[in-house]
């Protein structure tokens, strides 16, 4: 995984799903076809598996189950698997993976190999299989800023063609030379598809899926988030860390309160990311914070503003509020709504609702009521809402003093844990060598979702539901051994601790050999 991917996941950001679903640009294994002659591409083929690092081991997998493993005596970067002429015996879908170096002390199938490479389809027929098309870095443009579309074919040395729907005069051609991708600059909105051909007289391949490029008057808003999984109540002597992430590389960021730009120490670990270290004792305003960005030094246009974020801190010098539940906090029924009332000795305050975690108390709701109390609502409650809660408040005028937390209030919800729902994103039988995609529908954000198979204890795939209650899961390379019943579940991210029930199973039926 790249530094970018690791940092974004650490800060609660996810990778762009449009790109991640098409091609994993952080992969450590790459697979392509080397035809002996582009005039007869299926007559004599070699599959080349390339590693992102030196290794001794390579594995080629066909149709999700047939495996061919090679071990080298010395470290190399790639291995070629001769395929020869395409026949009924070697037609299919291929992926490869590389041995991890240095090997771990305890070798299992999970840590001895890289993740699977991109998919390569060998059909032996024309038209050739469709390529992949994805935007890089984004699927939008502005009046002065273009983007790129990347077309990827499994065969090296082909000629790529980019077409625009509803525009017969639009055609862009790129010769890939010794590469398997071509980059096309795009300056106009529309729906684009790419294809490729092996020679000037050859029939173009099947077209890729369409990619829509949208034009905006100004760049879309960035994302502003607190460092870590959950926001917390900070002490005034500490620093709050905010991360502003743009959808692409940018020239400059701004952190703002209303129309005022804040001059605050920050860092740029990545060109699309800016970190801000807020010294709370220096803050003279409690209004919400937003951020925006500028793409280039020569452009005066700023992006849309991010969604606002409010800060909350407390020096615990004010009297603690009182937290009560309506109805009573014990023996609550699943599916009902509970009102948590936080009462303070005066009005004009900012209130925060906290939930007890393993190591700290996450801030889960915030309100700015005009009176002396805030009423926090928990809807459609279940056993995952059981736990200890408290509340705090802080003044909204200098010196922004805050209260001690209220006494803990325990909520007890009856019944079994809620069950998520697992949805299959295909119809009928899953073809050999393809992906089986699922969607797990849960009841809470900030959870880890897992794909389970009946009879197995270890999850087959995991994903995070950060800003929604759903996450996509998959079997990345289906073989006949994957037929069976599958379900999903979710668990809380630290510091909270809860686990859902297991969804009702769905059956996966894989194409017969």
Cα distance between residue 208 and residue 212, in whole Å: 12
Domain range summary for the chain, segments of one domain joined by +: 3-122, 132-215, 223-294, 322-411, 421-508
Q: How far is CA 86 from the centre of its chain?
A: 37
Nearest to 64 by CA among 487, 476, 486: 476
Q: Which segment of 1-5, 90-94, 296-300, 393-397 scores lowest on mean pLDDT?
A: 1-5
Task: Write out the two tokens for 275.
Answer: 């970190």
Cα distance between residue 275 and residue 303, in whole Å: 18
The pLDDT value given to residue 15: 41
The pLDDT value given to residue 1: 42
Cα distance between residue 493 and residue 86, in whole Å: 49
Q: What mean pLDDT do residues 209-213 have?
A: 98
Q: Kindly compute the dihedral angle of the four CA atoms of residues 197, 201, 203, 204, in this order, to the nearest 10 degrees.
A: 30
pLDDT in tens, 459-501: 999 999 998 999 999 999 999 999 999 999 999 999 999 999 9
Task: Write out the two tokens for 260.
Answer: 């005022």
- State the Rg of the chain over Cα: 27
Q: In the 3-class helix/strand/coil scheme, how is 44-89 assigned residue by residue?
A: CEEEEEEEEEEEEEEEEEECCCEEEEEEEEEEEEEEEEEEECCCCC
CATH code 1.10.10.10 for 421-508: no
Q: What mean pLDDT do residues 91-110 have?
A: 78
Q: What is the mean pLDDT of the chain?
A: 90
Q: Do domains 132-215 and 421-508 have the same CATH topology?
A: yes
Q: What mean pLDDT do residues 41-45 have?
A: 95
pTM of the model: 0.86
pLDDT in tens, 146-181: 999 999 999 999 999 999 999 999 999 999 878 899
How many residues are there in the chain? 513
Q: Give the architecture (CATH level 2) of 3-122.
A: Sandwich (2.60)
Q: Which segment of 156-160, 241-245, 326-330, 505-509 scores lowest on mean pLDDT?
A: 326-330
Is 202's pLDDT higher than 90?
no
The pLDDT value given to residue 264: 85
Half-sphere CA count of 472, side-chain side, radius 13 A: 14
Half-sphere CA count of 297, side-chain side, radius 13 A: 0
Is 237's pLDDT higher than 60?
yes
Q: What mean pLDDT do residues 378-385 have?
A: 94
Q: What mean pLDDT do residues 280-288 have?
A: 81
The pLDDT value given to residue 166: 92
Cα distance between residue 462 and residue 437, in whole Å: 12
Q: Which residue has the higher pLDDT, 375 or 287?
A: 375
pLDDT band at 104 (very low <50, low <70, confident <90, very high): low
Half-sphere CA count of 175, side-chain side, radius 13 A: 5
Q: CA-CA distances (angstroms) from residue 39 to 124, 168, 277?
A: 13, 27, 60
The pLDDT value given to residue 109: 60
Bridge partners for 439 per DSSP: 423, 472
Cα distance between residue 32 and residue 496, in whole Å: 44
CATH code 3.20.20.70 for 322-411: no
DSSP-based three-state secondary structure for 203: coil
**Secondary structure (DSSP) of 356-386:** --SSS--EEEEE--SSSEEEEEE-S--GGG-
Locus of tokens 């700023």: 302
**Secondary structure (DSSP) of 214-278:** EE-SSPPP-EEEESSSS--PBPTTSEEEEEEE-SS--SEEEEEETTEEP---EEEEETTEEEEEE
Cα distance between residue 56 and residue 443, in whole Å: 45
- Count Cβ atoms below 10 Å from residue 352 Cβ, excluding itself: 29
- Asked if omega into 454 is within 30° of 0 (cis), the reply is no
pLDDT band at 285 (very low <50, low <70, confident <90, very high): confident
Q: CA-CA distances (angstroms) from residue 174 to 37, 177, 196, 378?
A: 19, 9, 9, 56
Cα distance between residue 97 and residue 75, in whole Å: 15
List, in order, residues 6 or more apart from 510 with CB less than 8 Å away.
Answer: 64, 429, 430, 432, 478, 479, 480, 482, 483
The pLDDT value given to residue 419: 95
Q: What mean pLDDT do residues 203-230 have?
A: 94
User: CATH classification of 132-215, choosing from 2.60.40.10, 3.90.226.10, 1.20.120.1760, 1.10.20.10?
Assistant: 2.60.40.10
Q: Which residue has the higher pLDDT, 201 or 81?
A: 81
- Count Cβ atoms below 10 Å from residue 299 Cβ, excluding itself: 16
Is 442's pLDDT higher than 80?
yes
Nearest to 234 by CA among 408, 372, 407, 402: 402
pLDDT in tens, 292-329: 999 999 999 999 999 999 989 899 999 999 999 999 87
């Amino acid at each position: 995984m790249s530094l970018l991917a690791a940092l974004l996941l650490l800060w609660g950001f996810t990778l762009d799903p449009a790109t991640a679903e098409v091609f994993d640009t952080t992969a450590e294994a790459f697979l392509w076809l080397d035809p002996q002659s582009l005039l007869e591409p299926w007559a004599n083929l070699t599959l080349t598996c390339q590693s992102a690092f030196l290794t001794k081991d390579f594995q080629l997998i066909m149709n999700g189950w047939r495996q061919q493993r090679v071990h080298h005596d010395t470290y190399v970067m790639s291995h070629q698997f001769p395929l020869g002429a395409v026949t009924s015996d070697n037609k299919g879908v291929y992926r490869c993976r590389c041995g991890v170096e240095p090997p771990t002390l305890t070798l299992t199938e999970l840590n001895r190999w890289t993740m699977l490479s991109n998919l390569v389809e060998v059909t032996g027929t024309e038209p050739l299989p469709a390529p992949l098309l994805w935007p890089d870095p984004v699927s939008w443009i502005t009046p002065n800023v273009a983007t790129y579309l990347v077309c990827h074919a499994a065969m090296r040395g082909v000629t790529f063609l980019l077409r625009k729907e509803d525009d017969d005069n639009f055609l862009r051609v790129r010769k890939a030379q010794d590469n398997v991708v071509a980059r096309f600059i795009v300056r106009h909105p529309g729906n684009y598809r790419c294809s490729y051909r092996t020679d000037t007289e050859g029939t173009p391949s099947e077209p890729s899926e369409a990619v829509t490029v949208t034009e905006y008057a100004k760049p879309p808003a960035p994302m502003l988030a607190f460092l870590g999984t959950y926001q917390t109540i900070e002490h005034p002597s500490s620093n709050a860390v905010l991360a502003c992430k743009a959808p692409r590389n940018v020239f400059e960021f701004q952190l703002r309160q209303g129309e005022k730009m804040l001059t605050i120490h920050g860092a740029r670990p990545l060109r699309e990311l800016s970190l801000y270290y807020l010294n709370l004792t220096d803050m003279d305003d409690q209004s919400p914070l937003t951020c925006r960005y500028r793409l280039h030094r020569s452009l005066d246009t700023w992006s849309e503003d991010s969604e606002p974020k409010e800060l909350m801190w407390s020096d615990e010098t004010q009297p603690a509020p009182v937290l009560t539940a309506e109805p009573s906090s014990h023996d609550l029924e699943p599916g009902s709504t509970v009102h948590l009332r936080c009462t303070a000795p005066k009005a004009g305050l900012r209130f925060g609702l906290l939930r007890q975690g393993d190591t700290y108390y996450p801030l889960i709701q915030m309100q700015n009521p005009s009176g002396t109390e805030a009423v926090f609502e928990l809807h459609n409650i279940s056993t995952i809402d059981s736990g200890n809660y408290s509340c705090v408040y802080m003044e909204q005028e200098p010196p922004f003093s805050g209260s001690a937390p209220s006494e803990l209030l325990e909520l007890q919800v009856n019944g079994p844990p809620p069950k998520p729902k697992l949805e299959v994103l295909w119809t009928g039988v899953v073809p050999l060598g393809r992906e089986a995609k699922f969607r797990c529908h849960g009841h809470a954000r900030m959870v880890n979702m897992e794909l389970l198979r009946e009879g197995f204890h270890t999850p087959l795939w995991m994903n995070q539901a950060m800003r929604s209650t759903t996450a996509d899961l998959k079997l990345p390379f289906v073989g006949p051994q994957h037929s069976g019943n599958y379900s999903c579940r979710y668990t809380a991210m630290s510091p909270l601790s809860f686990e859902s029930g297991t969804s009702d199973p769905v059956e996966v039926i894989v194409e017969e050999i």
